[in-house]
Structure 1
């Protein structure tokens, strides 16, 4: 009796490759296609990532913003002051403006806190009677020194540098990193 050979590549790998150890043309083309696709993806991704990360890596100098004369801040009070980003772009509009809480601790000693909660960035308000900063979004509460009292904030309120120069209370700010895709 004549038995027919019915071997398939699944049953016998030698049938799939006439020369063991060599890739088929299909395997080779697949590897070349994947390699070229990877190179194309990298060619697109590198400039995009660079444009997004570069502003964060720039070391911009601190800029001092005048926020008022020392006599505008009675000792023991906490006051909201507003100022503009140190390096605003023409199109920035309202986003170029920011604020800080300034407290006059003692004669000539000031402290300044960010207005943004460290949980999700909501603006905190100063409650003078309770002597607490309170975040209305998720119940974050900070003591008068900016440390966390309760709620979800993971860390204290950020502080700004403060000095008195040229008869003004000044807050030290750095430009907010904004990605510049063009000069406009």
Structure 2
């Protein structure tokens, strides 16, 4: 096959166009993948003074994320549950269910954390009581500094159950095969 001037110029044009497109796409690809590579430092956040939290009470708190950007707004706040165990000891649990990431709520009359989405139930110490959650609630480190309760925030260790699983027959799930009803047949 003979290389003509037309074929040479066409190959050079296509090659230089592909090279320019590759160079132009590097920042775009970097923009989409940079959040996965970005590391957030663990930071201590004030959540209130000692006298705000009665001994034995579990209250909801909001933590500001360490990687918050000025335009994040409410998205930079994450929920957590703080329990004052005694005069100087606190325990903080994530408000995120370990099953699929739904928010959990504290039911004080039952002393349980409940996930309304798939029936996940946690004891007051964060251990799984029932439902499909594979792990206990994540805990955050807590300290008291100069009369202020501080919680160390760091990104959650995301280890949710497979999202493509409909939870039918998950161990301990309320959605078990014997409870699934077939849709009514059309007459």
TM bucket (normalised to shorter chain) is: 0.5 to 0.7
Computing the radius of gyration from Cα coordinates, the structure with the larger value is 1
What are the ranges of 5 or more consecutive residues in structure 1 without an aligned counterpart? 1-35, 37-41, 177-184
Structure 1 counterpart of 2:110: 130
Q: Is residue 153 of structure 2 the alignment partner of residue 173 of structure 1?
A: yes
Q: Return the alpha-carbon distance in structure 2 between the equivalents of residues 74 and 60 of structure 1.
A: 32
For the pair 1:84 / 2:103, whether they are aligned, the reply is no
For residues 1-184 of structure 1, the aligned pairs below 5 Å read 51=31, 54-174=34-154
Moved over 3 A (4+): 42-60
Does structure 1 conserve the Cα–Cα contact (< 8 Å) formed by 2:61 and 2:79? yes
> Do 1:87 and 1:175's aligned partners in 2 also have CA atoms closer than 8 Å?
no
Q: TM-score, normalised by structure 1?
A: 0.65
> Please, what is the CA RMSD of the aligned residues?
2.7
Deviation at 1:136, TM superposition (A): 0.8
Q: Distance in 2 between matches of 1:175 and 1:99?
A: 12
Aligned equivalents of 1:85, 1:60: Cα separation in 2: 9
CA separation of 1:145 and 1:95: change in aligned 2, threshold 3 A = same
Task: Provide TM-score, normalisation by structure 2.
Answer: 0.64
Q: Which moved more, 1:58-67 or 1:99-108?
A: 58-67
CA distance in 1, matches of 2:101, 2:87: 31
